[in-house]
Amino acid sequence: MKITILDDYQDAVRGMACFAKLAGHHVAIWNDHTKDVEILARRLKDTEALVLIRERTPIGAPLLERLDRLKIISHLGPYPHVDVDACTRCGVVFCSRMGGGVPSYATAEFTWGLVIAALRNMPQEVAALKAGKWQAWPVGTGLRGKTLGIYAYGLIGGVVAGYGKAFGMRVIAWGREASKNRAAADGFEVAASRAALFAESDVLSLHIPLIPQTRGLVTADDLALMKPTALLVNTSRAGIIAPGALAAALRAGRPGKAAVDVFEEEPAPPDYPLLAMDNVICTPHLGYVERAQLESIMAVCFDQILDYAAGTPSNVINPAVLQRGGG
C-alpha cells in the first residue's frame, strides 16, 4: 500500500522500532505542517492509507472529496479534527483506538516540568546565565505546603494530583460529579465550589477534554478569582479557556503566571500574545511527545493499517463503510 504519515515534526517515526511493521509498503513521511487543502490534496493524491499523529491536521470533506485513492485513515484517540461523516460518504474507513484506561504519564510528567520551571523561573534564568547574568530574576516559589488545584480529576489529572501529594502539597479537585467522586475515592479533597478551586489554588492545572460543552469553559471571571501569585498550567487543550481570556488575565495580574503547552492554532503563530509575555512559559505541545508514548501511538496506527490490508479491520469508527462494501 501507499502510506502517508503527516506532521512528523521531529522526524522521529523512521527511527522507531514499530516502523519495521510497514516494511514492504511504500511510505511517505512529511515533517512540515500545512492545513492548506490544495497542498494536502497534491501530497496525498496517490495515498491509500493515511496516518495521523493526534490532532495535528484537520481532515474535512473538501480534502477527502479529492482523494480518490484513499481507503483508510488510521489514528489513535479522540478525533474532533476528522469529519467522520465525510469519510463515510467518500468510502474511507476511519480507524481510531479509543480509551484503554491508561493515563498519559508523559503528559503528567511534562505538566510537572512546567510547574517547577515556571515557579522557579528556570527558562528565564538559563537565558540570563547564557547572557552572562547571575540570578537575574526574582526569587522563585517552592511547592511544599502550597495548594494544587486539579480541574478535572480524570486519568491524567489523577496522576498529576498524586505528584502534587508527593511534593507535600494540599490537593483540591473539581469537575463533573463523576470526577469529584473519583477524587474523593482516591483520598483527595474536593473543592468547596468551582469558585473556591480558582481562588484557593497556588497552582491550577487544567485536564479537561475539549468537547463542544467544554469549549470556553474557563472564563475571564474564573481567572479573575485567582491569586496574583498563582500559576495556571494548561497541558490539555487551549479551547477550554475563553478566547483571549488568559492573556488579558495575565496582564491584569490574576493569575501571576501561566505555563501552556497547547494553542488555539498549532503550530502557534509567531505573534501569539502569550509568546511575548515574560510571565508565561510556552512549549510546542510536547506533553505527550515522548519517545515511548509516540512509539505506542504509531504502533497502534500501523497495526490498524495492517489489519485493514489483511481484511480484518480493527477499531473502525464508521462501520457503515464496510457494511456497504466500501473501503
The 8-class DSSP code of residue 269 comes to: P
**Does residue 26 carry a catalytic annotation?**
no
- CA nearest 165: which of 185, 145, 194? 145
Catalytic residue among 75, 207, 254, 285: 285
pLDDT at 266 over 70: yes
Indicate the pairing of strand 72-76 with strand 231-234: unpaired
The DSSP element (H or E) to which 54 belongs, if any, is: none
Q: How confident is the model at residue 2 (pLDDT cuts 50, 70, 90)?
A: very high
pLDDT at 326 over 60: no
User: How many whole angstroms separate alpha carbon 290 and alpha carbon 63?
Assistant: 30
- pLDDT number for residue 324: 72
pLDDT at 135 over 90: yes
- pLDDT number for residue 101: 72
> What backbone torsions phi and psi does residue 216 show, to the nearest 5 degrees?
70, 20
pLDDT, average across residues 196-203: 98
pLDDT at 238 over 70: yes
pLDDT tens figures, 59-98? 999 999 999 999 999 999 989 999 999 999 999 999 999 8
Domains of the chain with bracketed CATH: 2-101+290-323 (3.40.50.720), 105-282 (3.40.50.720)
pLDDT tens figures, 289-314? 999 999 999 999 999 999 999 999 99
pLDDT at 100 over 70: no
The DSSP element (H or E) to which 234 belongs, if any, is: strand 231-234
User: How many whole angstroms separate alpha carbon 114 and alpha carbon 286?
Assistant: 11
Catalytic residue among 54, 75, 182, 237: 237
For residue 168, CA distances in Å to 75, 110, 142, 161, 189 come to: 39, 19, 10, 11, 14
Q: How confident is the model at residue 243 (pLDDT cuts 50, 70, 90)?
A: very high
pLDDT at 325 over 70: no
Percent of the chain beyond pLDDT 90?
95
pLDDT, average across residues 303-326: 92
pLDDT, average across residues 205-228: 96
Q: How confident is the model at residue 130 (pLDDT cuts 50, 70, 90)?
A: very high
- pLDDT number for residue 120: 97
CB burial string 49-72: b at 16+ within 10 A, e below = bbbbbbbbbebeeebbebbeebbb
| Spatial contact of 153 and 175, defined as CB atoms under 8 Å apart | yes
Catalytic residue among 109, 266, 290, 295: 266
| CB-count burial class (<10 Å; 0-12, 13-18, 19+) for 294 | buried
Angle at 170 between CA 207 and CA 142, to 5 degrees: 90
pLDDT at 196 over 80: yes
Residue 59's region, left for phi above 0, alpha for psi from -120 to 50, else beta, is beta
**Does residue 33 carry a catalytic annotation?**
no
